[in-house]
Homo-oligomer: A and B are copies of this chain.
């Protein structure tokens, strides 16, 4: 809501706080690039025109665009806390993110959502949330929470809650599960959108999914899939993250008719990529490199997501819009120079300016309930042949294979010579310490163990290694840090990263987190792993909604059968 002071300023009766003078403004409404001076008062753009101001910045013909918007992101994936994330993306020109706190909600439930709402106040970027729709992912694991429609209901009317987050439970939608429909109705009742997540869904099932009230999709990987979904009425979020990269495939869908219903998102973007490549600026730059009209690329980063999420005060350089503004040298080699958030200069040339305070950290609720001294990864050899999770490098799917177990003293043990390592998942939520152990192929450790409290979606502790003792030491290190990642060999801690916020995030700045991850990965490579990012691979081995064979604290899950299966096949 604008104040009387800003109205007077807009009329030219009083000077503005700030005037960005002599720039060329990307007008997302007309598609034109027009010369003009942007006047800002109390954090709001009051007008474009020849205003007086207390502070004038001469732009000398540089380009002014609205601040960029990430339409769908899991902040937790960067492993830094909200403060670290906000500063990292602000430095790259993202002034608004629509986050799905799905990870922390799986650990802490509504307390996790409350924590994210509180911790995102006073940040240099606007942080909005969608309410996690699918917590827990399945009933075949011990999760930290179960979010029903009744749990989400009190949040739905809040201003910074924009709708219901990605509806991954498409079988629930297609089966008209009453609880799923209640969650959708909650968003519809508040006139807020429901984001979709329906990789590969097509034909009549896609019709049913969209008819149920789901408005967007960010899982398209082919042009045909995106075209079908767009024509069914979905807004298409083109995702270019760390693991999933869909820009090149989907770019041909963008044309003057379709572009209004398309926008950018990162979904999951890891610390290293944020630091080195950037965020939404990287996607805009890549799209322009690949031939997209720069104005359209900017619209997809600004006006389009603002309209989709009903954020009338964002997404454009125009009166009444929040003064979230970028100054860049050149639309074709897009490098973000200055970043203004609510009229305040927050970053120059990729660095947060001095004096941008960070909000005081808020303690997150405890999220590590593992009884001490109870760890036991031994496997009684009740058979000879075992099911093994086989890693597919660079992918989150696995293969399910069966092989001869190595048996010693009546117990099945790791066989590093055949790259057959023990893997275990330990319940960290309920306090039972329930543990299931099995075998994994493809991790490549010759010695030692690695462990992580980041393990989608329930985020129990996952650990893999050659010997039980190192596996125990790695898990104990994580419990001691109240969450994090660890590499142990011969009883010695080689590397660690504390993630005390729900076992998922650190209060440290992004660069520190990235450096910590580098050390962990280097240590894992030292132990013999050939994987590019063994911790990312590890984090998906407990996710029982992605084929083919996964491990939860309750045992091996055959994802295609959607049931727990025994380790030994005979």
A401 to B44, CA, bound (A): 47
Considering the complex, give the chain B residue whose CB is closest to the CB of A6: B211
Pick from B29, B178, B256: contact of A231, CB below 8 A.
Answer: B29
Assembled-state Cα–Cα distance A170/B255 (Å) = 38
Find the B residue at minimum CB distance from A311: B191
Whether the Cβ atoms of B233 and A31 lie closer than 8 Å is no
Within 8 A of B (CB), among A255-307: 255-258, 260-261, 295, 307
Chain B residues, CB < 8 A from A47? 204, 207-208, 211
Tell me if A453 is interfacial: C-beta within 8 Å of chain B.
no
Q: Is A45 an interface residue (CB 8 A)?
A: yes
Q: How far is the CB of A179 from chain B (nearest CB, A)?
A: 12
Residue interface bits A329-368, CB-to-B below 8 A is 1, else 0: 0000000000000000000000000000000000000000
Number of copies: 2
* Residue A224 lies at the interface, judged by CB distance under 8 Å to chain B: no
CB-CB under 8 A for A29 and B208, given A181-B1, A185-B1, A213-B1: no
Query: Do the beta carbons of A8 and B176 come within 8 Å of each other?
Result: yes
Interface 0/1 of A33-51, CB less than 8 Å to B:
0100000000011111101
A176 (CB) vs chain B CBs: closest residue: B4
Cα distance, A40 to B525, chains bound together (Å): 58
The answer to the question of A310 belonging to the interface, with a C-beta cut-off of 8 Å to chain B, is yes
* Contact yes or no, B7 A320, CB < 8 A: no
Measured between beta carbons, the chain B residues less than 8 angstroms from A188 are: 1, 312
Say whether B210 contacts A320, CB under 8 Å.
Answer: yes
- A10 touching B204 in the complex, CB below 8 Å, given contacts A4-B176, A29-B230, A233-B29: yes
Q: Is A417 an interface residue (CB 8 A)?
A: no
| A176–B46 alpha-carbon span in the complex (Å) | 14
User: Nearest-CB distance from A362 to chain B (Å)?
Assistant: 27
A261 CB, min distance to chain B CBs, angstroms? 6
Residues of B within 8 Å of A316, CB to CB, are 233
Residues on B with beta carbons closer than 8 Å to the beta carbon of A2: 181, 211-213
Residues of B within 8 A of A31 (CB): 255-258
Known A30-B227, A318-B232; judge A208-B257 contact (CB<8 A): no
* A185 closest partner in B (C-beta): B1
Determine whether A174 belongs to the interface, using a CB cutoff of 8 Å to chain B.
yes
Q: Which residues of B contact A206 (CB under 8 A)?
A: 319
With a CB–CB cut-off of 8 A, which chain B residues contact A204?
10-12, 47, 49, 51
Given A1-B181, A47-B204, A7-B312 contact (CB < 8 Å): no
Contact with B along A221-246 (1 / 0, CB 8 A): 00000010011110000000000000
Cβ-closest chain B residue relative to A50: B204
Point out the residues of chain B lying under 8 angstroms from A295, CB to CB.
Answer: 257
* CB-based contact A233/B321 at 8 Å: yes
Contacting B at CB under 8 A, from A157-198, are 173-174, 176, 178, 181, 184-185, 188-189, 191, 193
> Within the assembled complex, what's the spacing in Å between the Cα atoms of A233 and B233?
25
**Complex-state Cα separation, A87 to B212, whole angstroms:** 30
**A215 at interface by CB-CB < 8 Å:** yes
Asked if A203 lies at the interface with its beta carbon under 8 angstroms from chain B, I say: yes
Assembled-state Cα–Cα distance A401/B29 (Å): 45
Q: Is B27 a contact of A320 with CB atoms below 8 Å?
A: no
- A205 on the B face (CB < 8 A): yes
Q: Verify A45–B312 contact, CB threshold 8 A.
A: no
Cα distance A90–B206 when bound, in Å? 31
Contacts A30-B258, A191-B191, A231-B30; A208 near B11 (Cβ below 8 A)? yes
Complex Cα distance A307/B32, Å?
A: 23
Asked if B174 contacts A11 (CB within 8 A), the reply is: yes
Residue of B nearest to A12 (CB): B204
A395 CA / B321 CA spacing, docked (Å): 37
Q: What residues of chain B lie closer than 8 Å to A212, measured between beta carbons?
A: 2, 7, 320
A276 vs B564: C-alpha distance when bound (angstroms): 70
B residues in contact with A193, CB < 8 Å: 312
The contact of A203 among B32, B49, B232, B318, by CB within 8 Å, is B49
Question: B6, B30, B257: which contacts A30 (Cβ < 8 A)?
Answer: B257
Q: Are A233 and B185 in contact (CB under 8 A)?
A: no
Closest to A255 in B: B31
Nearest residue (CB) in B for A1 is: B185
Closest to A317 in B: B233
Interface pair B320/A233, CB less than 8 Å apart: yes
7 pairs from A and B in contact (CB 8 Å cutoff) = A4-B181, A6-B211, A27-B231, A31-B256, A47-B208, A210-B320, A231-B318
Please name 6 further chain A to chain B contacts, defined as beta carbons within 8 Å, in addition to the given A1-B184, A2-B211, A31-B255, sorted by A numbering. A10-B207, A11-B204, A30-B230, A46-B208, A46-B211, A51-B204
